[in-house]
Structures are given as C-alpha cells and as structure tokens.
Amino acid sequence: MVAKNESLTMLVLSYLSFDYPTLSLQDSLQKALKVIEAHKVPALSVLDGKKWVGTITALQVAQNLSSAAKLKDIQADFQQDKLELEEDILASLPLFENTGFSLLPVVNEEGNWMGYIHQDVISTMIIQSGFTGKNGGILRISFHAQRDSMSVILRIIEENKGLMVRSFFHRSEKNPQALPEWVIQVQTDQFSQLVKSLERHEVAVEKAFTFGHQEDVDQARFDLLLKYLNP
C-alpha cells in the first residue's frame, strides 16, 4: 500500500511555484511583453481577478502590438492548456511537450489560478519516485476500451520484469474525439523489449520516454527525457 505522504508527492499541488508573475486582462501589451521577456519565459498566465483566463506568449503579444492596446483585446488568442491541483504530476509531460512552455498554469475547481508548474519538477519527481535514471520509462498508450485490455497490458509489463509505479488517463481538451491516453510509469531494465512486446500484441504505444542509456533503443522511435532530466 502506498503511504499517504508518498501519494501526495505525485500530485501537481506538491510542486507549485510562485517564482513567476501573472498578467492581468487590463495590462497593456507593452507591459505584458516587457514582463514576459524580463523573466525569460515564453509565456505567462493572464488573470481576471483571481480567475485564470488563459496563457499568452511573447510572440502573440508582439504580433498584436500595432492592432491592440490591452490583453483583453486579444483574449481570443489565449492558450488554454492547464493543470488541475490534484492531477498526477505526469500529466504535465504531454502539455510541456505540446506547448513548448517551461511553465504551466495550475487551477483549482473554481478555475482560480493557484500557481505554476516548472518543467524542472519532472527530474524532482523521478528522484522522489525512486528511479535511478537507468531502469525504466514512461509509456503513453492510445487506449480503446473495446480493443485494449488493461489486464493484458499489465501481464505484458510483468512478463518483461516490469513494475507499474503509477498510471493515469489523459484526454486531450483540444480534440475531444481522440482516444484517451493511458500514461504509465514503468520500472524495468528491459524497457525497449517491453515496448516491442506491447506492439506485437497490437497495443498502440503513442510515445515512449526512456530513462538512461543502458538500452539499445531506436532513436527514431524513442524520445529521451533529457530536456527534463537536464534542463
């Protein structure tokens, strides 16, 4: 059984950062651009009072300097990728990858801004979860309830001397019609063999992040997590 304090370290709320500012809908575009550039990040959150309304990038602000005065004038351009307080920290992986941001906003159930998650927390998470950096990785499986079987996938993991550390389901907000992804953190010394075995059983492995360099992995098919382990 997982201890309560160990479970909490897996949640987004355990990694909140307040080291970076937020912007207001009433801020001028000039001020927004200056603040983003001063903190050397690609984007920052925009708030309406306490309510999070989206994320704006320096590029988006710069492109609208001549046609708009305040951030509220370009609200339609705000990006909506976010995390919730009680999500698993691994839920940040696809968002960091898809947005290219170094910071992700975190909101509560009411939609109020609660802080940021920085991409550096991935390396912290790996250390706290017991990984040595040489024995496993993360799988992102496109899961179809009528096609895939959780028990079969877990059996394949066990057959490859793997231990499922934890998992969660992630559904894309941008494409509600897409299949949910089952994200699994696996501890094993034969990660590449595990992925090949899953694919032989027609399990749709969308992405595989492998830790360490001890395996002979196909660089065209595996994304090393170096940008998170060594930011």
Domain boundary among 49, 83, 118: 118
Query: Assign residue 226 a region: left if phi > 0, alpha if psi is -120 to 50, beta otherwise?
Result: alpha
Share above pLDDT 70 across residues of the chain, in percent, rounded to a whole number: 79
Shared domain check, 211 and 108: no
Q: Is residue 125 part of a domain?
A: no
Q: Is residue 59 part of a domain?
A: yes
Domain boundary among 86, 118, 150: 118
Residues 135, 212: Cα–Cα separation, whole Å:
7
* pTM for the predicted model, two decimal places: 0.60
Better-scored residue on pLDDT, 91 or 55: 55
Residue 73, CA distances (Å) to 29, 42, 68, 150, 174 in order: 9, 20, 6, 47, 23
Q: How high does pLDDT run on average in the chain? A: 79
Query: Tens digits of per-residue pLDDT, 125-134?
Result: 665 555 444 5
Q: Is residue 124 part of a domain?
A: no
Shared domain check, 149 and 111: no
Domain boundary among 63, 88, 118: 118
Query: Tens digits of per-residue pLDDT, 113-126?
Result: 999 999 887 766 66
The pLDDT assigned to 231 comes to 39
Q: Which domain holds residue 13?
A: 4-118
Query: Of 8-12, 44-48, 107-111, which range is least confident?
Result: 8-12
What the block records as the tokens of 54 is: 């989206």
Domain count, the chain: 2
Q: Is the pLDDT of residue 230 over 60?
A: no
Shared domain check, 109 and 9: yes
